[in-house]
Amino acid sequence: MTETGKIIPATLLLAGWAVGAVAQQQRPNIVVIMSDQQRADLCGREGFPMEITPFVDRMAEQGAWFNRAYTTAPASVPARTSFLTGRFPNATRVRSNHNTEDAVYGAHLFGVAREQGYQTALVGKNHSFLTKSEADCWIPYGHGGQGGVKPGTPEADFNKYLASLNMYANFEPAPYGVEMQQPYRMVDDAVEWIRENHDQPFLMWLSFSEPHCPYQVCEPYYSMFSPDKIPANLTDSSALAAKGWRYEQLNEMMGTARPHYERRLQELRGLYMGMVRLIDDQVARFIDSLQQMEVYQNTVFVVLADHGDYVGEYGLMNKGAGMPDVLCRIPMVWFGKGIAPSGLRPDHVSIADLFPTFCEVMGAEIPMGVQGRSLWDMLQGKPYPQEEFTSVMGEGGYGGQYYTKEDGTDYIGEGCMRKNSSSFDCLNTWTQSGTQRLLRKGDWKLIYDMEGNGELYNLKNDPMEIRNLYGDPAYAARQAEMVAELLKWTLGTEDPLPIPRARYIFKRYPHNYMFVPGEDASASK
């Protein structure tokens, strides 16, 4: 029995003991390197023809990487809440960027790490329910600059520069060198803290606020991806009609806030790519520093993003409408201590899987209420039930009915635009209302909403999701299969909290698998 009197099957206790014993012997550090709004397919390992992420590509070859990794929601706060709690937005109750303090969970990553004797550090963007008191180190950065800097310092001047861009862009090289760019300073801060505190195991969340807008970058990165060098997009604004009214209205909003932005899409894309390359170089510098300190050898690393960015597809930048893969599929690369060199993996995984994975890395029991599945056996090259990872789900929308143009277009009154300003929030009443779910299974993707509208795509043949096959009799069997799989996920991610307080035995599969028992669960039946 646990300290709360709950009965746990014997196999789970044995599995937990084994993981705990190994973790106590090894005590690996954990570093989560997260970027904000980084599109998954803009990297060499997925065929992008320019050197945009050369370092992380090399680490992917030495470790493990997933091209079917998904965020739980294409918005920062819901996604980051899922990362910290291992729970989907429907369970955390955080379905928008405006519900940070409403998160519902039983435990979170930083709390479990502290319970296991880990020092904890956040360097960078938070944008979650986490508070300063819950970390031993708290060095905040955001889209408007570094927090807590003294007036009159170069850092304060850089903050003013970022604020002057109104969350849009600087189409000239940034007037500051690489050393003043936030990713560079964040790595300096992270390395300094680790140098002084690596005498005991630590958990660090190194959380870059880029390549999210404001889109800006200094030389030499500004010139690396000039508009005349970068490849053309697969789509443009001519695809908006096929994608539907939400995309069309988002395009209208962006054009209203930022007149003629479509004419500068190639420039915006170049700035974005330069920011991604700057981050990649700073990740390389960070890893090199840890190797020199001999900390790398005992550290588990994961590099990922909270969600993606259109980066010009459909004639759009940023995010907002719909659940296309450019927004919902995320980069995810694992390497370091205990990670078997397996390269590209076919498994379907989620940002919600990180917390339970780290629980097993630390030797902690996966807390009740966690919905993600531990990847630790898989990442170590041990046997695992591959059928557990044949699909993955994502969520979108804050609920209610769709708010459309017919309901009104007071963008300034709603707050997503400011009068006489290029400032614009793509996450707003029009783009975020309603409820959607996505399901990825192999080459196929389903999107379904609360009105019964469906989208079905073959991503191998149609990666930008233009030809909707939902309702086509030729794909009726595939459609039925995908709808049934989505229903399974919807029921499987119903919040188990609170569990029955008396008598009933709550059964959980090892490693928190949702659908498949695994080889070591037979005795629990």
The string of pLDDT tens digits covering residues 297-324 is 999 999 999 999 999 999 999 999 999 9
- Separation of alpha carbons 477 and 409, rounded Å: 40
Q: pLDDT category, 235, cuts 50, 70, 90?
A: very high
The per-residue b/e assignment along 144-165, b for 16 or more CB within 10 angstroms, e otherwise, is ebbeeeeeeeebeebbebbeeb
- In this structure, what token pair is assigned to residue 123? 């360097």
- In this structure, what token pair is assigned to residue 263? 């004419």
> Does residue 262 belong to any structural domain of this protein?
yes
**pLDDT for res 19:** 42
> Does residue 460 belong to any structural domain of this protein?
no
CATH at residue 168: 3.40.720.10
344 Cβ contact partners less than 8 Å away, ≥ 6 residues apart: 45, 60, 65, 66, 67
- Separation of alpha carbons 338 and 281, rounded Å: 24
**pLDDT of 89-123, one tens digit each?**
999 999 999 999 999 999 999 999 999 999 999 99
**pLDDT for res 127:** 96
Stretch 1-8: mean pLDDT, rounded? 34
401 Cβ contact partners less than 8 Å away, ≥ 6 residues apart: 433, 434
pLDDT tops 90 at residue 2: no
**pLDDT of 448-505, one tens digit each?**
999 999 999 999 999 999 999 999 999 999 999 999 999 999 999 999 999 999 999 9
> Does residue 469 belong to any structural domain of this protein?
no
Total domain count, the chain: 1
Q: How far is CA 180 from CA 146, 148, 155, 222, 286, in A?
A: 11, 16, 7, 15, 16
Helix axes 265-292, 54-62, angle to 10 degrees: 50
**pLDDT of 11-69, one tens digit each?**
333 334 334 434 444 689 999 999 999 999 999 999 999 999 999 999 999 999 999 99
> Does residue 428 belong to any structural domain of this protein?
no
> Does residue 525 belong to any structural domain of this protein?
no
**pLDDT for res 26:** 61
Looking only at the bridges linking them, the beta strands covering 145-146 and 137-142 are antiparallel
Peptide bond before residue 175 is cis, with ω within 30 degrees of 0 = no
Stretch 208-215: mean pLDDT, rounded? 98
- Separation of alpha carbons 267 and 311, rounded Å: 11
Got the DSSP string for 147-181?
TTPPTTSHHHHHHHHHHHTTTSB-SS--SS-GGGS
Dihedral angle, C-alpha 335, 39, 158, 265, nearest 10 °: 150
| CA 188 distance to own-chain centroid | 23
Radius of gyration of the chain (CA): 22
% of residues, the chain, pLDDT over 90: 92
**pLDDT for res 420:** 83
- In this structure, what token pair is assigned to residue 310? 């259109």
Dihedral angle, C-alpha 502, 507, 510, 513, nearest 10 °: -120
> Does residue 330 belong to any structural domain of this protein?
yes
55 Cβ contact partners less than 8 Å away, ≥ 6 residues apart: 280, 281, 283, 284, 287
Looking only at the bridges linking them, the beta strands covering 349-350 and 343-345 are unpaired
> Does residue 196 belong to any structural domain of this protein?
yes
Stretch 70-76: mean pLDDT, rounded? 98
Q: pLDDT category, 6, cuts 50, 70, 90?
A: very low
**pLDDT for res 13:** 33
Helix axes 265-292, 182-197, angle to 10 degrees: 20
pLDDT tops 60 at residue 7: no
**pLDDT for res 520:** 55
**pLDDT of 324-368, one tens digit each?**
999 999 999 999 999 999 999 999 999 999 999 999 999 999 999
Q: Are the C-beta atoms of residues 439 and 486 closer than 8 Å to each other?
A: yes
Peptide bond before residue 214 is cis, with ω within 30 degrees of 0 = yes
How do the residues of the chain divide into helix, strand and coil, expressed in percent and rounded to 5? Answer: 40, 15, 45
> Does residue 74 belong to any structural domain of this protein?
yes
pTM of the shown model = 0.93
Q: Which domain holds residue 301?
A: 10-392
Q: Using CB atoms within 10 A of its CB, is residue 179 exposed (0-12), middle (13-18) or buried (19+)?
A: exposed
Q: pLDDT category, 4, cuts 50, 70, 90?
A: very low
- Separation of alpha carbons 517 and 510, rounded Å: 7
Phi, psi angle pair for 272, to nearest 5°: -60, -45
